[in-house]
Amino acid sequence: MTVAYDGSFYRGFAAQPGLKTVGGTLASTLHRVTRHEVDLVCAGRTDAGVHAWGQVVSFDLPAAGLDLGKIQRAVNKLCGPSIVVREIAVAPADFHARYSAKARRYRYTVLNRDVPDPFLAPTSWWVPQPLDLHAMVMACDPFIGEHDFASFCKLDKGRTISAPSMRRRVVDAHWDDAGDGVLQFWIEANAFCHQMVRSIVGTIVDAGRMKKHAGEITAILRARDRSLAATLAPAHGLCLWEVTY
């Protein structure tokens, strides 16, 4: 299934006991609709408050009597509008939403105006200070290619920095000016480590505020030191846009 959701209402994707999550809600709803327990696998485990337009999930169901349209309509009726199944299809037997993915694409939205917008507030980071978009564009270049992103990732508890585990290949990172103060950061990579996009956005916005120089980004990457990057950009500006297979 290709799933879109408003992450404002959920404590991330992964099911957690006692918490309302996207994955937990989807799994329980699918169980209710199909009368079968499902083990959901997702392409990207988004954090609390993060949205998705193109999240992909896979799971197994018996083929006999399978009515995909009925499942889609029932899930959307029970979960919408905060969670919506955009597409549903039978995948090859060896398909895996996470491990079959070749790339993930995220969009981060910044609202750079003097006055906030209540209609954009749930899905954008309001930054009232003037931003130098040229500096932010220049700050994207060092991220392209394969790097160790330890400076821009939160380590899981109990893990130490390991070069192979933090290496990611970024194929695109750029800003679009949508007009009227709406700036959109797009980034695509083979995979992302925990909080990587929000850390990158926070650092680039610091460059736009002239708190950092674009030329510092390469040094921050090479240092493999999380303390050198900026504070995380807020979760609600981030959206998992697309997964490529």
Distance of CA 169 to the CA centre of its chain: 16
Q: pLDDT per residue over 40-79, tens digit each? A: 999 999 999 999 999 999 999 999 999 999 999 999 999 9
Pairing relationship of beta strands 238-244 and 51-58 according to DSSP bridges = parallel
pLDDT of residue 214: 85
- Ramachandran quadrant class, 102 (left: phi over 0; alpha: psi -120 to 50; beta: rest): alpha
pLDDT of residue 157: 55
Do the Cβ atoms of 166 and 196 come closer than 8 Å? no
Do the Cβ atoms of 25 and 10 come closer than 8 Å? yes
Round the average pLDDT of the chain to a whole number and report it. 95
For a pLDDT cut of 70, what percent of the chain falls above it?
96
> DSSP label at 118?
T
Active-site residue (options: 6, 47, 148, 206): 47
pLDDT of residue 156: 60
In the chain, what are the domains? 2-87 (3.30.70.580), 103-244 (3.30.70.660)
Classify residue 111 as exposed, middle or buried by CB count within 10 Å of its CB (0-12, 13-18, 19+). buried
Check pLDDT > 90 for residue 104: yes
pLDDT of residue 150: 94
Bond prior to 116 in cis (omega within 30° of 0): no
Tell whether pTM > 0.85. yes
Active site residue 172: no
pLDDT of residue 163: 44
Check pLDDT > 50 for residue 196: yes
Q: Of 158 and 101, which is predicted with more confidence?
A: 101
Distance of CA 130 to the CA centre of its chain: 26
Q: What DSSP letter does each residue of 165-223 carry, written as one string?
A: HHEEEEEEEEEEEEETTEEEEEEEES---TTHHHHHHHHHHHHHTTSS-GGGHHHHHHH
CA distance 197 to 189: 10
Q: pLDDT per residue over 125-167, tens digit each? A: 999 999 999 999 999 999 999 999 999 998 765 555 444 589 9
